[in-house]
Amino acid sequence: MNPAKSVSIMCFHDELCQVFNALMTALSLLRNGAKVTVFFGSRGVNAVHKDKVGSLQCLPDMPELGEAVTRRMDELELPTVEDLFFMFTHEGGEVLACPLNVPLFGMSERDLIEGAKLADPVRYYQEVVIAADMNLTF
């Protein structure tokens, strides 16, 4: 039997489509037997803020197109980002937030969604990124 693949996904955006794609990819890989860690850095930390996660916008620089995409996502009855986080963490995925960007964006660990925690940079880079079979960025 082959050992599980290890995947590191980094999300540096708080734009709904980017976060959704990162989480759908993470969940799909997890459900196919990979060990998956999703790291949120830069503006991405807003996606793991419990009061901001529900108001992420798709293509905020193009409001009409963003609203059309959001409507289409609703029509397709796609899961919300909150649902994806819940499924991912409850099925064994790891969600980490950048310990430098969290305070930079006026947040603390108490502001993170359930299941998310601050990354330990040394552990994260040595045991997750360098050890990963695949590194993806969004």
Domain count, the chain: 1
For 50-69, what is each residue's pLDDT tens digit? Answer: 999 999 999 988 999 999 99
Is residue 1 one of the residues assigned to a domain?
no
Residue 24 domain-assigned (yes or no):
yes
Summarised one tens digit per residue, pLDDT across range 106-129 is 999 999 999 999 999 999 999 999
**Residue 58: which CATH number?**
3.40.1260.10
Domain extent, residue 48, equals 6-137
One DSSP character per residue, the chain reads -PPPPEEEEEE----HHHHHHHHHHHHHHHHTT-EEEEEE-GGGGGGGBTTTGGG--SSTTSHHHHHHHHHHHHHTTPPPHHHHHHHHHHTT-EEEE-TTHHHHTT--GGGBPTTEEE--HHHIIIIIITT-SEEEE-
The reply to whether 115 falls in a domain is yes
